[in-house]
Amino acid sequence: MPRTQVAIIGAGPAGLLLGHLLRAEGIDCIVIERVSGDYVLGRIRAGVLERVTTDLMERLGLAGRMNREGLPHDGFNLADGERLIRIDIANLTGQQVMVYGQTEITKDLMDAAPERGLEIIYDAADVALHDIESDAPYVTFTKDGRAHRIDARFICGCDGFHGPSRQAIPARVGTAFELVYPFGWLGILSDVPPCNHELIYANHARGFALASMRSHTRSRYYIDVPLSEKVEDWSDDRIWDELAIRLGPDAAASMTRGPSIEKSIAPLRSFVFEPMQHGSLFLAGDAAHIVPPTGAKGLNLAASDVAYLSDALTGYFKRNAQDGIAGYSEKALARVWKSERFSWSLTKLMHRFPEDGAFERRVQLAELDYIASSTAAQKSIAENYVGLPL
């Protein structure tokens, strides 16, 4: 039966980043994914990268296309229906963020896998984890109608919120913290130029809106809608009309309308599972935590998890160091909770909640007015948005 040092469950960006980082250190690993590579690449996800993520791609020597095609951003905007409040992250922090789609990061990592010796098994059904409380865990799955088993020293669960890895941790040792929001984001992707060269997060009396982009010619827009809404009830024209109202007159005047490539409604939740390690199993990315997309933290938190985890595993296999793997969960969770706090606070600031009345609305507007006039407030937002240090 096949044996490896690290079995990685999930071939999204977290699993692929981890696999590449381990292979770069000469550590054997195999990535196991339940769906096809094409399906993974078909997921429409995040597009704002923190320094932690871009640095990992640079470290791997895989940042060439990102640096050519990505869009460096020096700031972003908050809108209150009347004005844009620009957060100058470059001036306030000395850093930038990069707009480069998660799909593109995943493609770069996939394309480099064969030459880097990273084995990825796609279409692996019925993935199950076994003996995770021992020093000899293993993974079983079926592929092409045959049963397979891979033995490993460690298993890393990078298989998302619904994957089997977190479920393998006994209920007696794990605690889940969750907040489900009463709305979702209705997104539209269209091959039109963006209405602004930077992102706009808008808080309007009618609700939240976001203007973002994937490139100079492809735009991604969102509005928040009740969870009871159906995407079929939202024509392209209806979405564009609502965006024009919520983003404000200046953005509306610069907005180019076009047919949708993709439309969907994504529910919002905040979720953290503790601990992120049990026995020989480690969790990373969405398997351990979910953040609302308001703060652009999901992919970047997965990258910071992987940075910590790859260093810990490298220390174990190369120097027999135990402290890294023993301290992984505590170290990762410290950053996770800070990112959860920022994403929750920005979501609370920019959205209308069903229970909110006139008082809450005025408090939101007062907070936005304070941010507009306070360099200290803007710096705090900028530091969190660009990403806290590892």
Active site residues: 73, 201, 293, 297, 385
Q: CA-to-CA distance for 79 and 81, rounded, in angstroms?
A: 6
Hey, what are 23's tokens? 């292979």
The per-type count for the chain, helices as H runs and strands as E runs, is 13, 20
Report the DSSP beta bridge partners of residue 30: 7, 119
| Residue at 228: amino acid letter | S
Q: Edge-to-edge strand order for the sheet containing 29-32?
A: 119-121, 29-32, 6-9, 154-157, 281-283, 277-278
Q: What sign for the dihedral angle of Cα 380, 194, 237, 298?
A: negative
What Rg, from alpha-carbon coordinates, does the chain have? 21
325 Cβ contact partners less than 8 Å away, ≥ 6 residues apart? 154, 277, 282, 312, 313, 315, 316
Q: Edge-to-edge strand order for the sheet containing 289-290?
A: 84-87, 76-79, 200-204, 207-213, 219-226, 175-190, 260-274, 289-290
Hey, what are 292's tokens? 């609302």
